[in-house]
Structure 1
Amino acid sequence: MMITTLMENLVYQKRLTAEHGLALHVEVDGQQILFDTGQTEGLIQNAGELGIDPGNIDHCIISHGHYDHTGGLGEVMSMNPRMKLWIHPQASLPRYNRHGEYIGMASPELTKASSRTEGVTRISETVYILPAASITYPEDLNMEGFTMDIDGKRVPDKFSDEQSLVLVRNGRLQILSGCSHRGITNIIQSAVDHFHLPVDLVVGGFHLRHSQDLDAIARILNGFKIRRIGVSHCTGVRQYTQLQTLVNAEVFYNHTGSIITI
């Protein structure tokens, strides 16, 4: 199994580009899976540089309906009309940040041909889509100030559309997260509660830049005894360095072009 980061906020290779966004490519079970699509079509160029053909992708999973995770979706779909899109029914609803600025999908109509997910969904022998995490640790929530339009009303966004990717390999879990608005600790707990297996790897955005209690979150993470943690995107660089000190795991920055082999 191989996880390649096609797009992330940082890059250290001249031939690749970076942007505020996230896109991960997974090769597993003889299939190719795209988890999120970044902010623009830049992931297409990076994929080519990394030897990945978007036309061969079998599945695309959208973690939630924000622009920096869905911006490249239209380009990928035009290159690969056979690709199966997995998305929550609410992901296409209009969404706004703390300042009232629109941050939803640029082309929500793309979701009309998707396979809608609401519960735990198995898409291959060892790959599952995990729905919105149950809230076990309220100290690890990243939803304040975010809103959405539903039935003509502007309401707080509880991120019911948020979903994660879980891979079960060798009796352990590998968990991929987009932004973890419902909390990375809650996502991990939900995965452990469902599969009853230990966690080997967690990769993705943890949305810790505005966290008021990183020490508490680190203590919860330590309780899971995770072997490797790859932080990306909205985690925050300062928070990454703090996690390296606070968490008893191999903590690394998962940037554009990173390749993880399992």
Structure 2
Amino acid sequence: MSPIQIQLLYDNIPGAPGTKALWGFAAIITFGSADKRQRLLFDTGSNGRVLLANMAALGVAPTGIDWLFLSHQHWDHIGGLDSVLELNPGIKCVLHQGFSKHLMGDLDDLGIAYQIVADDPLEFTPGLHSTGLLASEPPEQALVLETPDGATVISGCAHPGMSALVAKANGFLPAPARRAIGGFHLMYSDGEAIEQEIQALRQLGITEVLATHCTGEAGIAAFARAFGEQARVGGAGAQWRL
């Protein structure tokens, strides 16, 4: 299998020149064999026009995306949904059963293909899994990417806790996940709670992180201190090759 590439497309952390920072999160994952590369869009940020502009600035064509994985139903993660579907109605969506039945009905009416994830983990295409639905407010799923040197867990906001998402992933992976990426939902947490989450992730086997979006400034700084060079910086355009 060719290397997996992860690139952030949307973030409230300032990113590459030509991109706009706005509250929300989205990333593009490129995976598969050399002769059959596929692309998955993880979440869609809060604003479709900004998402599409950032994609254009980073050379990502909406029509070249095969999958759309939505972590949860908050506005800052599905705000660009209609913009993506308008340009790419053939995309395959991965939702969970905590999403609104009205949203699913609209997708039916538009003829959009989608798959519903329940509580159990689901490998929806080889090497890519949903953790399954975790209870939180709102309910959330995370994406898990298998690679030879250890898996990567990508969250939208980690409302259940990033450590809970990683623990769920470790329950079905052959070896503990190594990397955690996304929003860690620590923006309202004090220093003690942030440190507890860092230690929990270390104990679960996480050695590399990219904490951004709703992690908060104090949380991002704490992860940078704890993980040093193994703490990546967010912002649209940030890349990670696995």
Pick the TM interval, shorter chain. Answer: 0.7 to 0.9
With the length of structure 2 as denominator, give the TM-score of the two structures.
Answer: 0.87
| Structure 1 residue 52, shift from structure 2 partner | 1.0
Distance 1:89 1:198, change over 3 A: closer
* Letter of the structure 1 residue corresponding to residue 96 of structure 2: H
Out of 178, 193, 204, the residue aligned to residue 224 of structure 1 is 204
Residue 32 of structure 1 contacts residue 56 of structure 1 at CA under 8 Å; is this kept in 2? Answer: yes
Tell me, yes or no, if the aligned pair for 2:15 and 2:238 is still in contact at 8 Å: no
Query: Which 4+ residue blocks in structure 1 deviate beyond 6 angstroms?
Result: none
Q: Do the aligned residues in 2 keep the contact of 1:199 with 1:226 (CA within 8 Å)?
A: yes
Give 1:108 deviation, angstroms: 6.9
**Is residue 245 from structure 1 mapped to residue 225 from structure 2 by the alignment?**
yes
Letter in 2 for 1:23: A
Q: Deviations over 1:160-203 (max 9, x none)?
A: 3x111101110511111000000000001111111141222111
1:189 aligns with 2:167: yes
Write the letter of the residue equivalent to 1:204. Answer: G
Partners of 2:15 and 2:234 within 8 A in 1: no
Q: TM-score, normalised by structure 1?
A: 0.80
Whole-Å Cα distance in 1 between the matches of residues 15 and 124 of structure 2?
Answer: 33
- 1:151 — aligned with what? none
Q: Aligned partners of 2:21, 2:210: CA distance in 1, in Å?
A: 17
Q: Does the CA-based 8 Å contact 2:11-2:22 persist in structure 1?
A: yes
Q: Show the 5 A alignment for 1:40-51.
A: 40-41=47-48, 42-51=50-59
1:110-165 Cα deviation digits (max 9, x unpaired): 4444321113222222111111347xxxxxxxx5xxxxxxxxxxxxx3x33x1111
* Structure 1 segments unaligned to the other structure (5+ residues): 95-106, 135-142, 144-156
**2:235 alignment counterpart:** 255
Report the number of matched residues. Answer: 227
Matched residue, 2:121 = 120
Amino acid across the alignment from 2:47: T
| Partner of residue 63 from structure 2, selected from 49, 55, 61 | 55
Alignment RMSD (CA, Å) = 2.0
Identity value in percent: 26
Q: Partner of 1:84 in structure 2?
A: 92
Q: What's the secondary structure of 2:232's corresponding residue?
A: strand
CA distance in 2, matches of 1:211, 1:56: 39
| Change beyond 3 A, Cα 1:252–1:190 | same
Unaligned runs of 5+ in 2: none
**Preserved CA contact (<8 Å) 1:205 1:232:** yes
